Each structure stands twice: as C-alpha cells, then as structure tokens.
Amino acid sequence: MTILITGGAGFIGANFVLDWLAQSEETVVNLDKLTYAGNMNNLITVQEDPRHIFIRGDIADQGLMTQLLEIHQPRAVIHFAAESHVDRSIAGPREFVMTNIVGTFNLLEACRLAKLTKDFRFIHVSTDEVYGSLDYAEPAFTERHPYQPNSPYSASKAASDHLVRAYYHTYHLPLITTNCSNNYGPYQYTEKLIPNIIHCALLNKPLPILGHGKNIRDWLYVSDHCAAIMQVLNKGELGQTYNIGGGNEKPNIEVVNTVCELLDEIEPRIDGKSYKNQISYIADRPGHDLRYAINADKIKKQLGWQPQETFATGIRKTVNWYLNNRNGLNL
Ligand SMILES: NC(=O)c1ccc[n+]([C@@H]2O[C@H](COP(=O)([O-])OP(=O)(O)OC[C@H]3O[C@@H](n4cnc5c(N)ncnc54)[C@H](O)[C@@H]3O)[C@@H](O)[C@H]2O)c1
C-alpha cells in the first residue's frame, strides 16, 4: 500500500516521512515543489530507501496530481504543502493565495475526478491561526470556534479549510481537517522563532523578539503532531475537524529565555555571560495575533491521542538536535 504526501521536504512533512518510514512498510510518494522552505537534506537518511519515492512538482499542477493518483493508487493523501511563514505572507501574499488556496483547490479537483481506492482518505493539515487571536483570559480554541483569520497566511489556510469542508459536503470526498498549534523540533527552516534564535545565538548576533515578547503560542513537539496525524488517518471520522495542541502556552520571551538557558548549559558563551544578553526587541509584525491556544480534548477523547513530550523535554531535544546538526541551521 502507498500514501501520498505533499510538502514532504518541509519541516513537518519531512518529520512525518521519517517517522512514517521508521514504523511502517508502506511506501511514501512525496510530492514537493522544493521552494526555499523545502530541503532535500531533511530526507538524506531515506534517499536510498525504496519505500520513499520523491517527485519534484507543484500541487497546483492538476495534471501531475491526477497522474500521481493514477500511477500510485494511494490509499491516502496527507496534504502538508503550503506557504507557511506569516511575515512572508505580509510582504508578498500572492504565493500564499496560489499555493494554499489555488493549489489545494487543484489537488481537491484531482482527487474528485480520480478513481480512488476503496477506503481512500485525504487529511488536510491546517493551523490554529485560522481561528484568529485570543485575549489572555479567553478559553482555548475548540473545533467550534468561529474562523477569524488575521494575516494573509491564516486567511489562505482558512480558505483552503473551507474548500475541504465544501468538497466533503458537496462531493462526499473522504476528507478530514486537522488544526494544529505551533510546532517545534528538528528540520525547521531558520526563519522560524526557535531555530532562528539558536542560529543567531551561536553567531553572536542579536536575538530578535517581535514587539513586547508577550505574544503567546501553544507549542507542540513535531513528532507529537505527526503521531496525531497518523491517528487521524487510522481512526478519524470523515468530514470532522480535529484540533491538535500540546497544552504548552508560552509567551515568546519565555521560549527564548528557555533556549538561552539550555545553550548556556550545553554550549556556554566564551565570555561566560548568558545568551540572554543578546536578546533584542524589534518592531512588531503588523496585526500580530496576541494569543493562540488549542483545546485538544476531542482528539484525546475520541482518538486516544496524547502528546509524548512536555515542553521541557521537547525543547531540550530540539536544542541538542540543532547543536548536533549545524547544517540544519545553515551554519
Ligand atoms: N509549522 C507549524 O508550526 C505549523 C502548525 C500548524 C500547521 N502547520 C501546517 O503544516 C503544513 C506544513 O508546515 P511546515 O511548517 O512544515 O511548512 P514548511 O514551510 O516548512 O514546508 C512547506 C513545504 O511545502 C512545499 N511547497 C510549498 N509550495 C508548494 C507547492 N505549490 N507544491 C508542492 N510543494 C510545495 C515546500 O517546498 C516545503 O517543502 C502547512 O500546511 C502549515 O500550514 C504548520
């Protein structure tokens, strides 16, 4: 049997491919455009593995997607491919519309028109950012929270979620959507907070923190996200959405302080001072959402998923991984 992954050379997709091949004999067809965010080095350990078939291509190429569905007859599509960085979506929203909306649309169309295998399912991987921003005291997002996206990134992901919903209701395509909080772990591109902080710290550069540093994100170790997606693939109910989160709400400044403390312990600065001395507050992002928080009760109760890592264990693993894999930091 075979599964088809989109965006499997990116951060979460690559972790998913590696975790999958470590525990399954099933072949993975991995379709990725290799934008700046896709990196074949993430997949170096499986490049000779006959169970991994990599194809460079665009999800917006409906002909190619149709061909892949016909040739490989996957029992599932797991759709990770996206433009994913909020700041880039503010600087240039077009690619976000083209990949996240038009690309997802073309992929759904290819599936709608294909002869799919019995028990086929399509997992659409989305984000908690579609729900908008919470105040500090508001309850965490449930699956019933209204969609209130605030950035071109979250708006484009919200649009793709709506298309997925419509294709389930209108065409009965076997679809499930997951909305996950901020991920961290190995193989993340250095533009994102945690690898960027480690990268700057080791180069003795300022550690940039947007605005007041009190924006809260709910952090989940990437393998826990991948395990949740596998659980949704195995047991999720068609047409449903599942929120995924680690219950680790942290202000950005606390995340940066924790990374600095780990670096102080594992690779201290030559002058013996803390890396915290490099922290530097910079101009805030326009429309910066204050807080995201996920209520993951549904997936825990209905599908029996639980994260394995606490923030303390996951962030230690992550810092150690980047220190041992400096090419992952472009160092
Ligand atoms: N990173 C997070 O914290 C997080 C949290 C929740 C949900 N998500 C979602 O998970 C998915 C993966 O996120 P990520 O952080 O791994 O992203 P990423 O930016 O690291 O990787 C995206 C991958 O998609 C590929 N890609 C981009 N456009 C493509 C196209 N048109 N056709 C084919 N491939 C294309 C890129 O080359 C890259 O390999 C995204 O859909 C994102 O919205 C991410």
For residue 292, CA distances in Å to 43, 133, 139 come to 31, 6, 10
Give the Å distance between the CA of 265 and the centre of ligand 1.
32
Ligand 1 atom 22 nearest Cα: 10
d(CA 322, CA 99): 29
Instruction: For tokens 């480690």, name the residue.
Output: 198
Total residues belonging to the chain:
331
User: Does ligand 1 come within 6 angstroms of the Cβ of 189?
Assistant: yes
User: Does ligand 1 come within 6 angstroms of the Cβ of 180?
Assistant: yes
User: Does ligand 1 come within 6 angstroms of the Cβ of 84?
Assistant: yes
Model confidence pLDDT, tens digit, residues 70-116? 999 999 999 999 999 999 999 999 999 999 999 999 999 999 999 99
Model confidence pLDDT, tens digit, residues 215-248? 999 999 999 999 999 999 999 999 999 999 999 9
Instruction: Pick from 34, 36, 62, 80 the residue to mutate for probing ligand 1's pocket: most ligand atoms within 8 Å of its CB.
Output: 80
Q: Which residues, including other chains, have CB under 8 Å from residue 75's CB and lie 6 or more apart?
A: 1, 2, 3, 117, 119, 120, 121
Average pLDDT over residues 287-294: 96
Give the Å distance between the CA of 79 and the centre of ligand 1.
9
User: Does ligand 1 come within 6 angstroms of the Cβ of 127?
Assistant: yes
Query: What are φ and ψ of residue 240, in 5° steps?
Result: -90, 165
Model confidence pLDDT, tens digit, residues 163-177? 999 999 999 999 999
Give the Å distance between the CA of 59 and the centre of ligand 1.
12
User: Does ligand 1 come within 6 angstroms of the Cβ of 81?
Assistant: yes
Give the Å distance between the CA of 13 and the centre of ligand 1.
7
Domains of the chain: 2-189+221-247+293-309 (3.40.50.720)
Q: Which residues, including other chains, have CB under 8 Å from residue 213's CB and lie 6 or more apart?
A: 251, 252, 253, 256, 281
**Which residues are annotated as catalytic?**
128-129, 153
* DSSP 8-state code for residue 78: E
Give the Å distance between the CA of 156 and the centre of ligand 1.
13
Model confidence pLDDT, tens digit, residues 8-34? 999 999 999 999 999 999 999 999 999
Query: What are φ and ψ of residue 302, in 5° steps?
Result: -85, -35
Residue among 294, 203, 218 at smallest CA distance from 254: 218
User: Does ligand 1 come within 6 angstroms of the Cβ of 13?
Assistant: yes
The two tokens of residue 104 are: 């997802």
d(CA 12, CA 23): 17
Ligand 1 atom 12 nearest Cα: 80
Give the Å distance between the CA of 260 and the centre of ligand 1.
27
- Ligand 1 atom with minimal separation from the 85 CA: 19
Structural contact between residues 219 and 184, judged by C-beta atoms closer than 8 angstroms: yes
> In 10 A of CB 289, how many CB atoms?
21
pLDDT of residue 331 exceeding 90, the answer is no
Instruction: Pick from 5, 11, 54, 163 the residue to mutate for probing ligand 1's pocket: most ligand atoms within 8 Å of its CB.
Output: 11
Instruction: For tokens 């992954």, name the residue.
Output: 5
Model confidence pLDDT, tens digit, residues 243-256? 999 999 999 999 99
The two tokens of residue 246 are: 């680690």
User: Does ligand 1 come within 6 angstroms of the Cβ of 65?
Assistant: no
* pLDDT-based confidence at residue 38 (cuts at 50, 70, 90): very high
